[in-house]
Amino acid sequence: MSPDPGADDDPTDDLAADAAELADVLRTPPPLASQAAVAGVLARLETRPSNAGFDRFQLVRELGSGGMGVVYLAHHLDLGGPVAVKVIHPHLAGDKEFRDRFKKEVQALSRVRSTDGVEKDNVVTVHDARTSGARFYLVMELLKGATLEDWLRCRPLPSPAADLNWVAEEVLTGLIAIHRAGIIHTDVKPQNLWVERDTGRVKVLDFGVHRPAVAGKPGGAGTPAYMAPEQKRYEEVNARADLFAVGAVLYRMVAGPPPDSGPVLDHPALNALPPELADFIRKFLDPETDHRPANAKAALEELEKAREQADRAEDDRRAAAAKVAELQRVADRAVKAEADCQKAEAGCQATAAAVIALLPIAAQAVEAGEDRTRAEADRRLWICVTASLATCLGIVAAGWALDRLAADRRAAEREAAAERAVAERDAVLGRIRAADQNVDEARAALGRVFKEVDDKARELAQTPEQPEAVRRKVQGEYNRAFSESRTALDQVWQALADRTALLDQLAATAPR
């Protein structure tokens, strides 16, 4: 099924509906408003489906097709609202096997939607199932958004861990309801997962190849790149086969489409993920069936545990980084203290050397006093002792003065560093204000370009009967406006990225 970016309130007016949808596509934020979606809407302006055999619905246009049928946008004549109608291919309608698969899809979706709990919100809603002559068709809710595959094509790989957790939780929640109804989907893949534009909910689609959960039934139908090994071997399948497919979908979000032989468990992109999330995905992709979670509910519980472990690991990493920073500060203080001790030790050594140098003088004075009176000898001795003490005090005072000078120098350096930090912060703030102005200007330019694209889309929708030259001219103007809208959008993203970088720089200059 291809993306359906929206539906008009009055789909019976075909041309007006397509023009309104085209405008809706252009207003849709990336990545849903892709050029492919716009091209699809323009292509649908050329063809209209036949409404023969549908007494309660007015078919408006084709939305997409698959191996089993075609999906149309339709207007419910009784309820007066837009719906999606899935019609089995005419060349398959007479085949009993395909007809049985169609009926199984109806029964599967009916059982899923009749279960209790919020899990059913992650499964497409089927309003009715009908036959009209040789036609078989389903009446379903009209979804707005894109398939997960189209959503991923508009985003760079690898997807961030937050997106992986989001998709895993949404799909597993839907599979809980599906498995509770006794159904094994057997074809979970990005093309069968729908990302709703307004709610961000992921819904499970296309039960056309599902297998009922009955022991001994082969489960080979599906898409090889997303099939469990036991499913490829046409062995008995259970809920674990769908969990393998979920793991392959997450692998697609990280490493790109998996090969038909299956995902590569030691892919570098998987190794670059947080260990808890990488182990969670590898467990889903284990070729041994019994090594995977028992069912979607158990898998969802393991996902929550993996999240908690990842959060704890992140907290531990942050705590370790803070501890390392604290240890570095302690080491810096220790180095400074060692330097101070070395200076003090040098001063003590100088004092001791001075005292030792004065002792011989004192001894000589004592010896000389033998030829003099005892009073004269005592006087000279006290003079020597006093001189020694004065020298020691002078050395201590000099050391204290040096320490004070060093402390004053350090205080001056800190003050200068603080002034530089303030100047740097003021400079960054100035650049942030300039970046804010750039963002506002880019957004204003984007609004003007989108208005021009909208105007050209309306003008294009109003020229189906005009000469070919006129249509080509309008088409060229629309293509130019659309290209300018993409350029303007890139400028907005670049301006926002510059502002984010400046905010990070401002945070780096903040006082610690």
3-state DSSP of 329-363: HHHHHHHHHHHHHHHHHHHHHHHHHHHHHHHHHHH
How far is residue 105's CA from residue 185's CA, in Å, rounded to a whole number?
Answer: 10
DSSP state of 156: P
CATH number 1.10.510.10 given to 146-312: yes
Q: Give the pLDDT mean for 401-407.
A: 79
Model confidence at 7, pLDDT cuts 50, 70, 90, reads very low
Residue 86: phi, psi to the nearest 5? -105, 120
As a whole number of angstroms, the distance between CA 373 and CA 151 comes to: 111
Find out whether 110 and 66 touch, Cβ atoms under 8 Å: no
pLDDT in tens, 104-147: 766 766 666 655 454 568 888 877 777 777 777 878 888 888 99
Peptide bond preceding 31 in cis form (omega within 30 of 0):
yes
pLDDT of residue 12: 41
Higher pLDDT, 70 or 239: 239
**Per-residue pLDDT tens for 222-272?**
789 999 999 999 888 999 999 999 999 999 999 998 888 878 888 999 999
Mean pLDDT of the region 143-161 = 91
C-beta separation of 262 from 296 below 8 A: no
What are the boundaries of each domain within the chain? 14-142, 146-312
- Tokens for 48? 């209209």
pLDDT for the residue numbered 6: 36
The CA distance from 255 to 263, in Å, is 9
Of 31-40, 118-127, 460-469, where does mean pLDDT reach its minimum?
A: 31-40
- Compute the Cα dihedral for 140, 142, 147, 150 and give only its sign: positive
From 18, 187, 242, 454, active-site residue: 187
- In the predicted structure, residue 215 carries a pLDDT above the cut 70: no
14-142 is classed CATH 3.30.200.20: yes
Residue with tokens 């199932």: 129
- Give the chain's mean pLDDT: 76
For 383, how many CA atoms within 13 A lie in the half-sphere containing its CB?
11
- 244: closest CA among 222, 213, 268? 222
Does 187 qualify as catalytic in the annotation? yes
Mean pLDDT of 33-55: 58
Model pLDDT for residues 295-313, shown as the tens digit of each residue: 999 999 999 998 888 888 8
